[in-house]
């Protein structure tokens, strides 16, 4: 089968393929976006985006003709163009809608919008409705956020607007309506639409009135997660942002038609969403497209953070919708230089990992002219590759048997102000152990466990401390129906407000119960100790050798037991490094304790570095095997430790537990040296594997400035019903891949992978 046949095979039954309008345009001409070509709305078809984030100086020298050429050469189908908000880039008649400093009467937004429409591009008019200048504040001080002493909240010279006032209810809707009547952009997005963040409380009259009318309460005097009024204030803030989302959509659709949507930008970080009161689940319920503002990796999260984000949001939004992501072509992140080009390998790898998670590319520059011209060369090749292979990259479904549960409520009410420590680190530990072990997984929202259950053999709760009763019941149903469970840390020990329960809500499944603390615990609860690292260990059970006291004189101590396969690979040790603290727990009779706690002892001076208490019966890992299924509970926060320190023993142990609990029901085996993020998708009669090579001298510390090839990589993937595996084709390299099919698995070897490879089995 040649490549043309292959492309045809890929289009079989493509009646609802989103991008069918854009195929067949491989001659290098920009694929024209034309509404009449398909029934599908633009926001389901436009997949390749670009943004020149306009500075106030740009109107003087914005070279639209040059940028039209750039759109064309980068195969861009839609642009995000600054329109209004803090400043207007068009001659606005809305009172106090201040013109950009150097606009001088030019209609820059209008010129760009018309040029884009002439070229067949969709336009997202970009707003920034979060702050305003002093003259606005002086005219309407009651439209702005104030602190408990009545002083306005400011960001630099600008004043922060209040989400409960007429600025949001009247002023912004007027601007949206004006822009629609003048220019008819396809839709609107907003850079920072959600107002004052969680770290500041607004006491303006509008806020007081709204909070009182909704709750009968006064605005809390300070942040206190133990105070129910503060918790109600958190929920009330979330609800208000959803009201704004709905209000703006009703305004834009009323003036611009049913497809004229408003879609405010959202973060790739759940903690970021929480701190801005943006409820991802509620937003995804109503969003037609998610405009993701997540421009670069963090050192801690790595590139793989981006595929994780794509899968997590698609889990809420559905896989038939699009998630373009603003990807910085400038040196964003650590450190930031707006005008300097990011090293190409670093910028590309972020784009590639996003694409691996179902995200669409959106190049992003700040400013309309650049003296570091290298920046213009970064997006084109990725955009072109995306265009050529788009059918394999969207509207597909992940294939995974492992689900990792998360919830924003847990981030708020268990994570509180330490969500990075309490929620993100365990999450990272689990997901990175999965990636390292090349086990495909999907993030599962804790309110959607029932929906995802059918495809999963294992559900992981990474220190999911705060759980509602409904969530607990859905986990129970999952296990009752034969699913396996792996819970860590304090999972299910708190209710939906973060109030501690008297025992784990899942205690019967976990085979474990809390007990009144019988040991002196000066450091207190996990919340108080998780930030610290202790010189503690875990003892593997049963010990395989008698304790060594003194020189062994060449004599091997006798083997005293046989271990559970969960401890495979650790035959030459009876202890593992830990780093955390554990409290006594009571375990049920049927439960098997595989790890026990060795309390901390001094590190320094070396003379003192001996175990004061080499053995306890405090459990660190508990396995339960019942007729229904397997349940592993790990009170020891090995996931948090792995997320923090990356010790291979911790990663191996987590992978062992996951494989044991899932009874090895994993649809992918990948062999060969290197760190890879392996994702599998199903689309029609195709299996699509996306292998991203994360192996690099800069994998954990940015930026990457050189790729290191890996290979050969041997792949074995289980074939779902309906996938024939007559052919195996790479979409990135042009190497020949021969394959075989054995017992329902397709087996092939990829000789080398530079940055990534996508392999289509059909
Ligand atoms: Zn207010």
DSSP secondary structure letters along 539-599: EESS-SBPPP-S--TTPPPPB-----GGGTT-TT-SEEE--S----EEE-TT-EEEEEEE-
Give distance in angstroms: CA of 730 to centre of ligand 1. Answer: 55
CA-closest candidate to residue 84, choices 65, 61, 64, 103: 103
Q: How far apart are CA 216 and CA 218, in angstroms?
A: 7
Q: H or E stretch including 148?
A: none
Q: How far apart are CA 79 and CA 53, in angstroms?
A: 10
Instruction: Give the pLDDT of residue 730.
Output: 97
DSSP type of residue 600: -
Give distance in angstroms: CA of 140 to centre of ligand 1. Answer: 13
Q: H or E stretch including 113?
A: helix 108-118
Per-residue pLDDT averaged across 427-451, rounded? 98
Angle at 366 between CA 364 and CA 372, to 5 degrees: 95
Give distance in angstroms: CA of 239 to centre of ligand 1. Answer: 14
Give distance in angstroms: CA of 221 to centre of ligand 1. Answer: 14
Q: How far apart are CA 400 and CA 439, in angstroms?
A: 8
The answer to whether 372 and 60 are in contact (CB under 8 A) is no
Per-residue pLDDT averaged across 185-210, rounded? 97
Give distance in angstroms: CA of 222 to centre of ligand 1. Answer: 15
Neighbours of ion ligand 1 (CB under 5 A): 162, 164, 202, 204, 207
End-to-end CA distance of the chain: 11
Give distance in angstroms: CA of 204 to centre of ligand 1. Answer: 4
Give distance in angstroms: CA of 166 to centre of ligand 1. Answer: 10
Give distance in angstroms: CA of 206 to centre of ligand 1. Answer: 6
Per-residue pLDDT averaged across 325-329, rounded? 98
CA 503 to the chain's CA centroid: 31
Give distance in angstroms: CA of 200 to centre of ligand 1. Answer: 10
The answer to whether 329 and 365 are in contact (CB under 8 A) is yes
Q: How far apart are CA 129 and CA 173, in angstroms?
A: 11
Instruction: Give the pLDDT of residue 375.
Output: 97
Instruction: Count the Cβ atoms, other than its own, within 10 Å of residue 231.
Output: 19
Give distance in angstroms: CA of 250 to centre of ligand 1. Answer: 23
Confidence of residue 702 (pLDDT cuts 50, 70, 90): confident
Instruction: Give the pLDDT of residue 519.
Output: 52
Instruction: Give the pLDDT of residue 8.
Output: 42
Give distance in angstroms: CA of 208 to centre of ligand 1. Answer: 7
Give distance in angstroms: CA of 142 to centre of ligand 1. Answer: 8
Helix (H, G, I), strand (E, B) or coil at 116: helix
Instruction: Give the pLDDT of residue 446.
Output: 98
The answer to whether 377 and 344 are in contact (CB under 8 A) is yes
Give distance in angstroms: CA of 193 to centre of ligand 1. Answer: 14
Over residues 216-268, the pLDDT tens digits come to 999 999 999 999 999 999 999 999 999 999 999 999 999 999 999 999 999 99
The answer to whether 246 and 287 are in contact (CB under 8 A) is no
Give distance in angstroms: CA of 146 to centre of ligand 1. Answer: 7
Give distance in angstroms: CA of 224 to centre of ligand 1. Answer: 19
Tokens (6 digits) for 308? 């994780």
Tokens (6 digits) for 586? 């009571």
Per-residue pLDDT averaged across 752-761, rounded? 97
Instruction: Give the pLDDT of residue 700.
Output: 63
Ranges assigned E (strand) in 268-401 = 291-293, 324-328, 330-331, 337-341, 360-366, 397-398
Helix (H, G, I), strand (E, B) or coil at 44: helix
Give distance in angstroms: CA of 472 to centre of ligand 1. Answer: 36
Bridge partner list, 577: 537
CA-closest candidate to residue 572, choices 581, 559, 584: 559
The answer to whether 36 and 259 are in contact (CB under 8 A) is no
Give distance in angstroms: CA of 149 to centre of ligand 1. Answer: 13
Q: What is the mean pLDDT of the chain?
A: 92
Give distance in angstroms: CA of 203 to centre of ligand 1. Answer: 6
Q: How far apart are CA 662 and CA 639, in angstroms?
A: 18
Give distance in angstroms: CA of 161 to centre of ligand 1. Answer: 8
Give distance in angstroms: CA of 237 to centre of ligand 1. Answer: 11
Pairing of β 158-160 and β 131-132: antiparallel
pTM over 0.85: yes
DSSP type of residue 175: H
Give distance in angstroms: CA of 199 to centre of ligand 1. Answer: 14
Give distance in angstroms: CA of 210 to centre of ligand 1. Answer: 9
Instruction: Give the pLDDT of residue 545.
Output: 74
Give distance in angstroms: CA of 141 to centre of ligand 1. Answer: 11
Instruction: Give the pLDDT of residue 697.
Output: 67
Instruction: Give the pLDDT of residue 13.
Output: 35
Give distance in angstroms: CA of 234 to centre of ligand 1. Answer: 14
DSSP 453-488: GGG-SEEEESS--B--HHHHHHHHHHHHTT-EEEEE
Give distance in angstroms: CA of 576 to centre of ligand 1. Answer: 52
The answer to whether 104 and 149 are in contact (CB under 8 A) is no
Helices (H), 294-439: 304-317, 344-356, 379-389, 408-413, 419, 425-436
Percent pLDDT > 70 in the chain is 91
Radius of gyration of the chain (CA): 28
Give distance in angstroms: CA of 279 to centre of ligand 1. Answer: 19
Longest dimension (CA), the chain: 92
Give distance in angstroms: CA of 288 to centre of ligand 1. Answer: 29
CA-closest candidate to residue 576, choices 594, 591, 592, 558: 594
Helices (H), 340-499: 344-356, 379-389, 408-413, 419, 425-436, 449-452, 469-480
Instruction: Give the pLDDT of residue 546.
Output: 66
Tokens (6 digits) for 224? 């206190």
DSSP type of residue 218: P
Give distance in angstroms: CA of 211 to centre of ligand 1. Answer: 10
Give distance in angstroms: CA of 178 to centre of ligand 1. Answer: 26
Give distance in angstroms: CA of 196 to centre of ligand 1. Answer: 9
The answer to whether 579 and 534 are in contact (CB under 8 A) is yes
Give distance in angstroms: CA of 126 to centre of ligand 1. Answer: 24
The answer to whether 634 and 587 are in contact (CB under 8 A) is no
Give distance in angstroms: CA of 413 to centre of ligand 1. Answer: 23
The pLDDT of residue 11 is above 80: no
Instruction: Give the pLDDT of residue 557.
Output: 56
């Amino acid at each position: 089968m040649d490549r043309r046949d292959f492309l045809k095979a890929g289009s079989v039954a493509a009646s609802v393929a989103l991008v069918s309008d854009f195929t067949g345009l491989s001659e290098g001409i920009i694929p024209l976006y034309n509404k009449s070509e398909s029934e599908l709305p633009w926001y389901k078809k436009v997949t390749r985006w670009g943004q020149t984030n306009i500075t106030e100086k740009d109107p003087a020298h914005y070279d639209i003709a040059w940028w039209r050429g750039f759109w064309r050469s980068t195969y861009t189908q839609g642009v995000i163009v600054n329109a209004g908000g803090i400043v207007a880039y068009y001659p606005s008649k809305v009172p106090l809608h201040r013109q950009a400093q150097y606009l001088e009467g030019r209609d820059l937004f209008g010129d760009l919008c018309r040029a884009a429409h002439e070229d067949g591009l969709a336009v997202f008019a970009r707003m920034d409705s979060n702050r305003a200048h002093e003259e606005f504040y002086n005219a309407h001080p009651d439209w702005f956020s104030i602190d408990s002493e009545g002083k306005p909240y400011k960001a630099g010279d600008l004043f922060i607007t209040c989400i409960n006032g007429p600025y949001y209810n009247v002023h912004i809707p007027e601007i949206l309506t004006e822009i629609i009547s003048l220019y008819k952009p396809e839709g609107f997005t907003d850079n920072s639409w959600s107002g004052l963040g969680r770290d500041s409380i607004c006491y303006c009259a509008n806020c007081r009135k709204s909070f009182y009318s909704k709750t009968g309460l006064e605005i809390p005097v300070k942040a206190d997660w133990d105070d129910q009024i503060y918790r109600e204030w958190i929920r009330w803030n979330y609800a208000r942002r959803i009201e704004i989302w709905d209000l703006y959509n009703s305004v834009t659709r009323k003036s611009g038609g049913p497809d004229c949507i408003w879609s405010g930008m959202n973060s790739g970080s759940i903690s970021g969403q929480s701190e801005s009161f943006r409820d991802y689940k509620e937003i995804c319920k109503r969003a037609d497209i998610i405009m993701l503002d997540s421009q670069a990796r963090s050192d801690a999260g790595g590139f793989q953070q981006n595929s994780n984000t794509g899968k997590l949001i698609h889990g809420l939004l559905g896989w038939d919708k699009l998630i373009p992501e603003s990807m910085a072509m400038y040196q964003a992140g650590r450190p930031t230089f707006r005008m300097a080009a990011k090293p190409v390998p670093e910028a590309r790898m972020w784009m590639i990992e996003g694409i691996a998670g179902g995200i669409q590319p959106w190049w992003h520059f700040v400013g309309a002219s650049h003296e570091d011209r290298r920046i213009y060369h970064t997006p084109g090749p990725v955009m072109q590759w995306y265009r050529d292979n788009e059918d394999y990259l969207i509207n597909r479904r992940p294939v995974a048997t492992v689900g990792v549960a998360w919830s924003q409520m847990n981030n708020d009410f268990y994570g509180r102000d330490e969500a990075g420590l309490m929620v993100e680190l365990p999450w990272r530990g689990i997901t990175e152990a999965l990636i390292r072990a090349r086990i495909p997984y999907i993030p599962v929202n804790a309110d959607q466990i029932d929906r995802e259950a059918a495809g999963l053999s294992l559900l992981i709760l990474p220190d999911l401390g705060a759980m509602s009763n409904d969530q607990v019941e859905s986990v129970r149903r999952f296990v009752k129906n034969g699913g396996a469970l792996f819970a860590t840390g304090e999972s299910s020990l708190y209710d939906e407000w973060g109030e501690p329960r008297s025992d784990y809500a899942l205690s019967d499944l976990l085979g474990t119960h809390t007990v009144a603390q019988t040991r002196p615990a000066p450091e207190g609860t996990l919340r108080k100790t998780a930030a610290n690292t202790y010189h503690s260990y875990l003892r593997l059970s049963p010990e395989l050798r008698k304790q060594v006291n003194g020189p062994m004189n060449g004599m091997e101590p006798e083997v005293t037991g046989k271990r559970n396969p969960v401890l495979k690979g650790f035959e030459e040790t009876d202890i593992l490094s830990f780093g955390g603290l554990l409290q006594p727990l009571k375990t049920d009779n049927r439960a098997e304790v595989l790890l026990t706690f060795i309390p901390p002892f001094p590190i320094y001076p070396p003379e003192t570095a001996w175990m004061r208490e080499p053995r306890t019966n405090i459990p660190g890992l508990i396995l339960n095997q019942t007729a229904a299924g397997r349940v592993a509970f790990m009170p020891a926060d090995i996931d948090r430790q792995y997320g923090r320190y990356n010790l291979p023993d911790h990663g191996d142990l987590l992978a062992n537990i996951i494989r044991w609990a899932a009874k090895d029901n994993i649809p992918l085996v990948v062999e060969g040296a290197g760190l890879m993020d392996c994702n599998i998708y199903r689309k029609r009669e195709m299996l699509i594997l996306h292998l991203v090579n994360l192996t690099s001298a800069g994998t954990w510390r940015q930026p990457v400035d050189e790729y290191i090839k890996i290979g050969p990589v041997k792949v074995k993937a289980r074939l779902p019903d309906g996938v024939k595996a007559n052919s195996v084709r790479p979409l990135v390299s042009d190497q020949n891949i021969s394959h075989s099919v054995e017992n329902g698995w397709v087996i092939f070897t990829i000789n080398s992978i530079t940055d990534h490879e996508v392999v289509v089995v059909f």
